[in-house]
Chain A
Amino acid sequence: DVKVTQSSRYLVKRTGEKVFLECVQDMDHENMFWYRQDPGLGLRLIYFSYDVKMKEKGDIPEGYSVSREKKERFSLILESASTNQTSMYLCASGYTIRYHTGELFFGEGSRLTVL
């Protein structure tokens, strides 16, 4: 079974703190994604990566950065956390859509609260 593991299920941070959310996948997927999930808004794409050290902005990248130093690991960084970044963060991975089904595999999510 595909496994996408997010390092923390629940985090509580203070405004201004630097926050790291880690994601690891075990299926050699080229593509990895960070989504933010908020009630009534669904999932919105923050950043994605299609290869090691490659990244592209999604729809809501402001206030976030990412790092992909190894193929299996994709990190989301909040340089200075703010209360409006309180949310559920979902990591996902998958193969390049042209050659596969397009299915994404998701982690369990990291619920971040910024006080």
Chain B
Amino acid sequence: AQTVTQSQPEMSVQEAETVTLSCTYDTSESDYYLFWYKQPPSRQMILVIRQEAYKQQNATENRFSVNFQKAAKSFSLKISDSQLGDAAMYFCAYAMIQGAQKLVFGQGTRLTINP
């Protein structure tokens, strides 16, 4: 069974600084998707960024980028120029390519932005 592990329950960063959230996963599949989702306080979970395992290039979305290390099964999220609105729970998730898109989630990392 696939598993996703986020070893940092909480992180904090100064506004305008850069922070990296860690995620590791375990799978025997060679092709899959990885995601970072953001859950702001009392608001809906939204997708931040997505990576397809067959693509070697790391995904980027504005201030958000990932460091995807397939061999190490590592998928970290880097947030540059942190803003107060980035404060949220961040979840790393894995999905197989085939079948229904069941996402397997990590435990989550609560990110605090200090002004």
Contact = CB atoms under 8 A, between A and B. Distances in A.
Interface string A11-49: 000000000000000000001010100001111110010
Interface size range on B against A:
20 to 34
A42 B105 contact: yes
Interface string A71-115: 000000000000000000010101111100111101111000000
Interface stretch (B14-22, B39-47, B63-71): B39-47
B24 to A, nearest CB: 14
27 contacts: A4-B44, A33-B102, A35-B105, A42-B4, A42-B6, A42-B91, A43-B91, A43-B105, A44-B105, A45-B103, A45-B104, A48-B100, A50-B100, A56-B100, A92-B45, A95-B101, A97-B33, A97-B96, A97-B98, A97-B99, A98-B97, A103-B35, A103-B47, A103-B50, A104-B103, A108-B44, A109-B44
